[in-house]
Amino acid sequence: MPEFVHTYRNYIKNTRHCDNHFGFDLRRLAGVEPFLHFLYKEWWRVQFTGLDLLPKDGPALIVGNSNGLIPWPAFMLLYALMSQNSPRRLTVVADMDWIEDVRVHSFLVQVGFVPWSSTNLKYLFSKGELVAAFPEGLPATGKPFSERYRVREFDWSRLLPAFEAGVDIYPMATIGCDEALPTLFNAEHLSKLLSLPSFPVTPFFPWFPFPANLGSLPVKWKMTVLKPTAWDDTRGDRDVLVDTARHHTRYIEGQIQAELNRMLRARIKTFI
Amino acid sequence: MAAWTNLKTLGLVDPLRALEKRNPSYFSRYTGLDDEFGFKLETFARWEPIFRFCYEDYFKVDCRGIENIPESGRAILVGNHSGLLPLDGAMITMAMCNAHNSPRRVRYLVTDWFFTLPRVGEWISETGQVRATLENAQKLLERDELVGVYPEGLRGVGKAFPERYRLLDFHPGFVQLAISTQTPIIPVATVGGDEIFPNFVNVKSIGRLLKMPFFPITPTFPWMPFPHMFIPLPVHWLINVHKPIDLGYPPEKANDRKLVLKIAREIQYDIQRDLNKLLRERKSLFTGWDPDET
């Protein structure tokens, strides 16, 4: 802990005004920090571009692509925001109702995850927090390897609070996550039996005993945050608001997909 | 496997007579017309059975939403380009000729490189294609023709196999054209075209040497003797024609670059989204889509 305080002095200074309404715990974050550091710097060697586009303070929403049951891109973004020059705390909104294990649930909440609901989103935006969301939702957690880097349809209705609050939405494209943990197939019978949203079978996942089944391939990751698109402020009119939300969610989805295509085309080697 | 009945008409009958018998409305619509761009019904009639064989028997194309293309009046078809030989255009032409209620020809805008080839250039314009310039496109639209555009351009055809169905950024020229001539845009998503010639590598140096836009290496291409290297894989195709989009901007807006680019991106994202969805629904490369599901 003292070492953490020393290294992340700026982070603690910048986030001392953030509220811990949902149960954020700095000690827990300090506990997993070495692990995140290892993944970010050594294992996946994340190359992050566009971090400086994000606002230094005030509310904003980051929307990205993801895969698998464990939202690794969210953790990497969290670490990147924590260790940059002007650090900020990230709150990730995610579907957490299916997590029945109390320990896992409380761990996620302590690290900065928040159950995804419009009330929570509105609260977070009113407090001026930086929020990340992965709107492909639970069906995309079992996305097979053949569909890698193909974005599933975004649910515009769940991003509606951001449009209501008039918050900037930053698209984020992540390349590497689908190959680090290639989903060979989705075992639907098992997922129903265990009441999980999906059961992605990877080369590691159910096969090895506990710590080793969280393993992943050392793929080089690239993450990009893009500029937010401007839309007309429509906070008054409800019908227009719904229309813009639908329209812009599609546009953001397309932007992320196009950026993924561009990054894949530019990539020469997967592992280096 | 394929039924070869379509090919029986080849060489046995006069192609024009065969077309008149098979497709009277198409024949009566375009017979005796003097076309400025060099369309010849006779050449079209001679080659039509071959491409119809590809369409019906070889690629077994599923065509969805062909009725979205208007029976008359101008329109711009915008699609994703695929397959080293641009067969996707030919397949949409076949769909318009054989599956539509009132058959029409599609005038594709073709890049200059094809017209530098000795015989191919003539053949391309005789079957209805036009050299891609802005004036040509405007002339065609003024005559209420159906113009086909692939805004990815040549780069889109030469996509490598791992990048199949990943759109390159669209050139926004077609939106400018649509706004200035007040034409509806019809997006078309084609699945199947990128797998007929799996393109492993693009050897740029040989391409430059031979003055080709790209030099692909496929399982058959430079290795096999002449006709065999152009035989595509029998992949099951699907062509999904979207609803026409009326942009509804006045012609003066055609010079608003920001707006034009945004609309082009939106159409690109729409097509990419549809491709992702269709690929997810596809059972396998060669059997295609489950007819019961949709």
Q: What percent of chain A has pLDDT over 90?
A: 73
The pair of three-digit structure tokens given for residue A76, joined into one six-digit string: 């990497």
Q: Among A89-103, B67-81, B157-171, B200-214, where is mean pLDDT lowest?
A: B200-214
Residues of chain B found within 8 Å of residue A251, distances taken between Cβ atoms: 265-266, 269
Helix A238-266, helix B257-281: angle, nearest 10: 80
In angstroms, the Cα distances linking B41 to A188, B34, B125, B291 are 55, 10, 11, 35
* Contact across the interface for A147 and B279, Cβ inside 8 Å: yes
Option in A150, A254, A264 nearest B265 (CB): A254
pLDDT tens for each residue of B81-137: 988 888 999 999 999 999 999 999 999 999 988 898 889 999 999 999 999 999 999
In the predicted structure, residue B1 carries a pLDDT above the cut 50: no
Query: C-alpha B205: how far from its chain's center?
Result: 28
**Shortest Cα distance, chain A CAs vs residue B204, angstroms:** 16
- What is the 8-class DSSP label of residue A47? E
In the predicted structure, residue B5 carries a pLDDT above the cut 70: no
In the predicted structure, residue A131 carries a pLDDT above the cut 80: yes
The number of C-beta contacts closer than 8 angstroms across A and B is 51
pLDDT of B292 reads 60
In the predicted structure, residue B2 carries a pLDDT above the cut 60: no
**Can you list the alpha helix ranges (DSSP code H) found in A51-176?**
72-83, 102-111, 118-126, 160-165
In the predicted structure, residue B220 carries a pLDDT above the cut 50: yes
Residue A235 — pLDDT band, cuts 50, 70, 90?
low
- pTM value is 0.92
Q: Among A234-248, B143-157, B168-182, where is mean pLDDT lowest?
A: A234-248
Q: What percent of chain B has pLDDT over 90?
A: 61
Which residues on neighbouring strands pair with residue B201, listed in sequence order? B217
In the predicted structure, residue A77 carries a pLDDT above the cut 90: yes
Q: Cβ of A186 under 8 Å from any chain B Cβ?
A: no
> What residues in chain B have their Cβ under 8 A from chain A's Cβ atoms?
162-163, 166-169, 265-266, 268-270, 272-273, 276-277, 279-280
The pair of three-digit structure tokens given for residue B179, joined into one six-digit string: 């706004």
**Shortest Cα distance, chain B CAs vs residue A176, angstroms:** 15
- Residue B82 to residue B86: CA distance in whole angstroms: 7
Q: Cβ of A257 under 8 Å from any chain B Cβ?
A: yes
In the predicted structure, residue B270 carries a pLDDT above the cut 60: yes
Handedness of CA A156, B163, B166, A40 (dihedral sign): positive
What is the ipTM score, two decimals?
Answer: 0.91
Report yes or no: A133 and A159 within 8 Å, Cβ to Cβ: yes
Mean pLDDT of chain A: 92
**Shortest Cα distance, chain A CAs vs residue B148, angstroms:** 23
Report yes or no: B46 and B80 within 8 Å, Cβ to Cβ: no
pLDDT of B29 reads 92
Q: What is the CA radius of gyration of chain B?
A: 19
Residues of chain B found within 8 Å of residue A255, distances taken between Cβ atoms: 265, 269
CA atoms within 13 A on the CB side of B126: 14
Report yes or no: B167 and A261 within 8 Å, Cβ to Cβ: yes
Residues of chain A found within 8 Å of residue B266, distances taken between Cβ atoms: 250-251, 254
Of residues B205 and B144, which shows the higher confidence score?
B144
- Residue B187 to residue B76: CA distance in whole angstroms: 8
Helix B134-142, helix B173-181: angle, nearest 10: 40
pLDDT of B170 reads 95
Backbone phi, psi, residue A45, to 5° = 45, 60
Q: What is the residue whose two structure tokens read 């075209």?
A: B193
Mean pLDDT of chain B: 89
Strand order through the sheet with A90-94: A47-49, A222-225, A169-175, A60-64, A130-133, A90-94, A113-115
| Chain B: residue whose CA lies nearest to A262 | B168
Task: For residue B287, count other CB atoms closer than 10 A to its CB.
Answer: 10
Closest listed residue to residue A147, CA positions, set B79, B218, B199, B165: B165
**DSSP reduced 3-state for A84:** coil
The angle subtended at Cα B151 by Cα B85 and Cα B97, nearest 5°, is 60
Report yes or no: B288 and B60 within 8 Å, Cβ to Cβ: yes
